[in-house]
Structure 1
Amino acid sequence: MKKTVVSILVPLLAVALYLGGRHLYFKPKFINGDPAPNFSGVLPDGSAFELANLREHYVLLDFWASWCGPCRQENPAMVGLYKEFEHSNFRDAKGFEIVSIGVEKKAEPWKHAIEKDGLYWPYQLLDVAESTQFIDSPIAKQFQVREVPTKFLLNPSGLIIAVNPSPEDIRKLLLERLGK
């Protein structure tokens, strides 16, 4: 009887420890109220990008990848959000922008996914992995991203106001801030 109980409890404990550890490992390290680190990059048209230049806007940082099924499934919702809010007047911000950060090894699949998924906003950045582990790409490392998709919604002051919000949560947060 004791052996049966032990043979059941040990695997259950192992699974619980694994899942708990995995959750803690992949959990974003930034929380609401943290300032988002500034970063820079080059946009597909060759122009320079710096996050600090989007202060006074609500900004959604969307870490995604062309090879990530959940990311690609969520892209139509991102397009819908941008269409809904790209010209909106907010009480406390000049507008809403999405900064898509493609965590990739090569540019071609990323460019193809942008075109195929209709990601038409201007701020698309390629975050090239330095090794075979995609999470070591420079911007992803700066934000301590360990999996995609990962999202951060920033307020006009550059503070994180939501970590991994769903598209519907983003929509609700933005609707609450529209000018009357």
Structure 2
Amino acid sequence: MPKFLRITLLVAVALVVIGFIYLKLTAAGEGDQAPEIQAELVDGTNFKLSDLQGDYVLLNFWGSWCGPCRVKTPSLIALHQKYESKLKVVSVALEKNAEAGRTVAKKDGFTWKYQIVEESSFVMLSSTAQKYGVTEIPTMFLISPEGILLGKKSLAEVEEIMRSK
């Protein structure tokens, strides 16, 4: 391999590593105030995450192209239906093509109001994902009624918490 190509590859890898470290250091962590999200929902209405204070919020980062995300969809829908009076689901689809996220969410049965599609070439380049330190999907966060980030949670963990409330 030519020396120039090796150096270029090494610099690229170093930049990716630095990017991951930067994301982890600057993202909100468990116990912090949940970073604000302001976006347009798929139905065209404006959304602010802070408007949901008073309820638990499950913030779900996913993508129409993500197999593991799609596998979890039926369980996510069931959780939403069971606890919708005290748990608001906010889904953030990270897509190269926004229409794909809208189409799959509708086809798969997302019935909750708070659906956001954010166009991004890579997950870690999404401004919303960066605020939360998301580098892979699916990733879910639970937010308390006071707006405090309770951390990354699995659907089973969210179910257990909701059952006790």
Identify whether the pair has TM-score above 0.5, normalized to the shorter chain.
yes
In 1: Cα distance, 2:72 partner to 2:115 partner: 16
Consecutive unaligned residues in structure 2, runs of 5 or more: 1-16
Q: Which has the larger radius of gyration?
A: 1
Cα deviation code 1:44-67 (max 9, x no counterpart): 121100001000110000000000
Cα 1:167–1:148 shift into 2, 3 Å: same
The answer to whether the 8 Å contact 1:128/1:138 transfers is no
TM-score, length basis structure 1: 0.74
Cα deviation code 1:40-96 (max 9, x no counterpart): 000112110000100011000000000011111001111000000013xxxxxxx21
1:47-86 alignment runs, 5 A limit:
47-86=45-84
Aligned length: 145
Which region of structure 1 is more displaced relative to structure 2, 98-107 or 26-35? 26-35
Q: CA RMSD in A?
A: 2.0
In 2: Cα distance, 1:145 partner to 1:134 partner: 7
Match of 2:36 among 35, 38, 52: 38
Runs of 4 or more, structure 1, over 6 Å off, are: 24-28
1:134 Cα deviation after fit: 3.1
TM-score, length basis structure 2: 0.81
Q: What is the SS of the residue equivalent to 2:117?
A: strand
In 1: Cα distance, 2:133 partner to 2:118 partner: 13
In 2: Cα distance, 1:145 partner to 1:151 partner: 9
The answer to whether the 8 Å contact 2:41/2:115 transfers is yes
Consecutive unaligned residues in structure 1, runs of 5 or more: 1-20, 88-94
Q: What is the SS of the residue equivalent to 2:118?
A: strand
In 1: Cα distance, 2:123 partner to 2:72 partner: 20
1:158 Cα deviation after fit: 0.7
